[in-house]
Structure 1
Amino acid sequence: MSSSSSSPPEFKGWLAQGPSSIKGELTWSPFEPIPFTSNSVDIAISHCGICGSDIHTLSSGWGPTHYPACVGHEIIGQVVRVGDAVTRVKLGDRVGVGAQNSSCNRADCEECSNGYESYCPQMVGTYNSALPTSTHPHEKQGEKHWTKGGYATHTRIPNSNFVFKIPDALESKHAAPMMCAGITLYSPLKRNGAGPGKRVGIVGIGGLGHFGLLFARALGCESVVAISRSSKKKADAEALGADGFIATSEDENWGQTHAKTLDLIISTVSEADMPLSSYLSLLRPHGTFVIVGAPEDKLPGFSAFSLIGKGVKICGSLIGAPAEIEEMLQLAADKKIVPWVEERPMSDANNAVVDMVAGKARYRYVLSNEEGKGEAKL
């Protein structure tokens, strides 16, 4: 079933027992990992980024969470066990895992066969997802195994296609947030033609948005514009690669002032009260507005003429496919992209979550296990 292993029979991690966990009430506890198969990979975690998705899941903001839950899907660590069918990685490799840890990979799956694995009907999230019986037929009738994430000593990934070698040029603390926040911005930028001659706007300068600025600049866009409520992050945005800045609360006519100036806008914000109609006014004819931030409430309404008048479109994007993740990691290594992170010890996860909820991150917290050996000194 597997090559030689140094992974323990049970893992330890920060478990949420209910929505109040976002108040710093995670408990360090042992948990049983999902079953090991011939295509599984066990990883001793050295680093794990804190993502906004973690907060929505801990609080059941996007829907009921299956508790106890261990969140975290920006994982870097060392391979300590591989199944017999695994060929992508080997024992000792430094690897990363993002928000998805499996898909069906069937030849007759339109999504998987066309490089859209993140939209596979059997997409499995790295945490808080039940393994489908179709890909884990050894499960007992009616039994479910739920994935658990990276606020832990180890993680078990059921599908090695979603385990990625990390280029030597990238530090683990920098690679970690790329596994979700990074690819969430890189994928829609690439799929929508970001590059020379394109004018790109990024709404929201945070954990996601700062990657948008970094990657848009690395892809050689003609113009990169940061869009935020106030100008307090203007200096940060310029340091991250922005050559334009729109402060929406400081110019009541900003939609008109900057009308028809952008080809592509990526929105990273999670607030439902966004000025959507004004954002659309910024687009040039045939421009695209891409939503990657996911508000817990419905989006605001807008006039159909906001689309019809210029032939623009609104779409969404979910993380990215394995091939895109590998491409992104190599670009980050080649262009020496360095995200803005604050490293926190794994033992400080509760305080880090509370600070994340309070909006203190500039711009990503990364939890690190002591000495990179999957050990949290508590």
Structure 2
Amino acid sequence: MRETVNAAGLPQPTAVDLLKWYDRHARDMPWRVSPAAQGAGARPDPYRIWLSEVMLQQTTVAAVTAYFQRFIARWPAVIDLASAEDADVMGEWAGLGYYARARNLLKCARVVVAEHDGQFPREHAALLKLPGIGPYTAAAISAIAFDAPEVVVDGNVERVMARLHDIHTPLPSAKPQLIAAATALTPLQRPGDYAQAVMDLGATICTPRNPACGICPWREPCVARMAGTAAELPKKTPKKAKPIRLGIAYVVQRSDGAILLERREDRGLLGGMLGWPGSDWAEEAPAPAPPLEADWQGLSEEARHTFTHFHLRLGIEIAQVGMDAAPSRGQFTPLSEFQPGHLPTVMRKVFDLSRGVLRGMG
């Protein structure tokens, strides 16, 4: 017989209670099919679920929404994305960060079209074989798109489980314990809605700071609420300080207004993205690496950007050159075709600092 109370003497949490809350309070998202719409027979689109989940990796819903809507407007189905030009997709992704996701997005779309007749596989194991899809994303697609009882655990779910069970083991060591707690609650009925419900709970009520315990559908069974420890959970192992790397960006404008840009190699940070020719990024001052000989003028300001593992500080050198300039790398892009919005964020910062010196930029 199932216990009705937990070890702390509180009632056991149930998926039913959370789903009742979700039916009333589900967030409205462009990739989501609401509980009411599903009750009327609508089903989630696996393409939209996949696209949103890839975009949401290490990125907030607020940051992703506009990108998702642009992608869907331009490439409404996986077959459209699979046939897109790499440069167009990378340009639309610019500013969203973690650019390997965009490269894998294209690879995955093309595999789905070529090997699965344009249909995403339903099974978790088959999804894991697709480029760029790891255990979390495969579980999310299986659960949300196909209503399979897969366990979906993101940062929101980890926080909810840590508080619900008052788990004080710091992350990442606590992950197995938190996954086990999430697994025990995942229902066979409506697992897709349940997965989204837990994530919504963490995003709107069981928030990192000042959780709204008084209106939480799981307030009664929450052990951390009773213990008064909810606000301090989950605990995390302190991160090491990020190192600082230095580099130089070279901004070149030809006499006809054209801008010198180069596309980075597909591998590595900012792989496949347009940017300014530059030096290596190193923890010591890098050796100069201008793309051509010119009268270089250094800006007094530097572009600063933080990546996952380091802080970057880019010095900026600017040169105006004639029509006969022959750079060792990169290509000149006519001013009429230059789209600053297609630059990754760090390169856009260089442009913003340089635009007052460039002709035709205002």
Fold equivalence (TM over 0.5): no
Larger Rg over CA atoms: 2
Q: Which TM-score bucket, shorter chain as reference? A: under 0.3
TM-score (norm 2): 0.22
Which is richer in helix? 2
Query: Which gives a bigger RCO, structure 1 or 2 (Cα 8 Å, sep 6+)?
Result: 1
If the length of structure 1 is used for normalisation, what is the TM-score?
0.22
